[in-house]
Each structure stands twice: as C-alpha cells, then as structure tokens.
Structure 1
Amino acid sequence: MCTGCPVRTECLADALDNRVEFGVWGGMTERERRALLRRRPTVTSWRRLLETARMEYERAANAAAMENGQVHEKYAAVG
C-alpha cells in the first residue's frame, strides 16, 4: 500500500513523532512502530532522523551510479 508513496517518509515521521497508536503509517504497522520506538527511545525528532537518513542514502546511491557509469564508459571505450 505505501510502497512508492511520495510522502512515505514524512508520514512515518509524523506517526512516530506524534506516537500515533493505530493504523499503518509510512509503511509500518502499530506493532512495528512500537518496537522501533522501544529500540530508539532517545530520538527526539524522527522527521529529522529519517530525512537525514534519506539524504545520505540518495547521496550514496548517486555516487554509486556515477561510479558505475564511469566504469561502463571505460569498458565501452575499450570494446
């Protein structure tokens, strides 16, 4: 249901920050969210944490894509 949703991260962050008890939010059930909150009790802003994690992931993915593209270009020039 949530896969591919453009606001999935924001939705999950809102549910975690506001301790929403019921329903599926950001792709996580209430049981999954409770477990996450128990594992990370010191997080003060889930929005900040999730946005930072997403930016780091996108940065790493872009770097890997560029690296793979450069490697591909090297082999294409040889072939």
Structure 2
Amino acid sequence: MSLMEMDSWPMMAKCRGMQDDLFPDGADQKRVRTICYSCQVRAECLAEALDNRIEWGVWGGMTERERRRLLRQNSNIRSWRRLLVEAAKKSDK
C-alpha cells in the first residue's frame, strides 16, 4: 500500500459519513461494529486506532474494551499498521 493509499483509507470506508453512529454507548457498540465486517479497509481502520491508542468508538470492528485488551496482551507490537495491513494483503491473495 502506497503512502497516498495509507492516508486515504477513510475515503473507502464503509462507514464514511456515519461518524456519529460509530460512537455509541455500551452494548450498542457490538451492534454498530457489524458495519465493519465487510469493509475493505477494516485492517487500516483498526491499525489506526491501535497505533494511535484511540480510546472511543468502534474502529475496524473492535470496541474500546476489545482494543484495550488486545493492546495489553500485545504490548510488544510497535506497528499495528504493518502487522494488520500485511496480514490483510496475504489473505486477499
């Protein structure tokens, strides 16, 4: 993925224009994350949230609590973008 593609992934997101809907409270987060499951830039979105420690909302199909747990369990990972985007590329092949 080129630098330009890395910066423009939000324009390709399935949730584009739905920002207010992606920041629900509690149990509604699990309902909202279903939007992410068929999104072509899910890996980029999740990597953005993990690399930047974004605490609120649903990103890449994961709730705040799920992301915090993942970060705690994998504190040695320095670049989620590299890990997730490369894994997504391999699965597309």
Shift of 1:31: 0.3
Rg bigger for which structure? 1
1:47 to 56, 70, 81: 81
| Whole-angstrom distance in 2 between the partners of 1:7 and 1:56 | 14
1:26 to 47, 60, 63: 60
Q: Following superposition, which runs of at least 4 residues in structure 1 exceed 3 angstroms of deviation?
A: none
| Whole-angstrom distance in 2 between the partners of 1:57 and 1:5 | 14
Say which SS state the counterpart of residue 2 (structure 1) adopts.
helix
Q: Which structure features the higher share of helix residues?
A: 1
Task: Give the total of aligned pairs.
Answer: 59
Unaligned runs of 5+ in 2: 1-34
Task: Give the RMSD, CA atoms, in angstroms.
Answer: 1.1
Alignment-derived partner of residue 45 in structure 2? 11
Say which SS state the counterpart of residue 21 (structure 1) adopts.
coil
Q: TM-score, normalised by structure 1?
A: 0.69
Q: TM-score, normalised by structure 2?
A: 0.59
Percent identity reads 61
Matched ranges for 1:52-63 at <5 A: 52-59=86-93
Q: What do the CA deviations read for 1:28-71 (whole angstroms, capped 9, x no partner)? A: 00000000000100101000000222233334xxxxxxxxxxxx
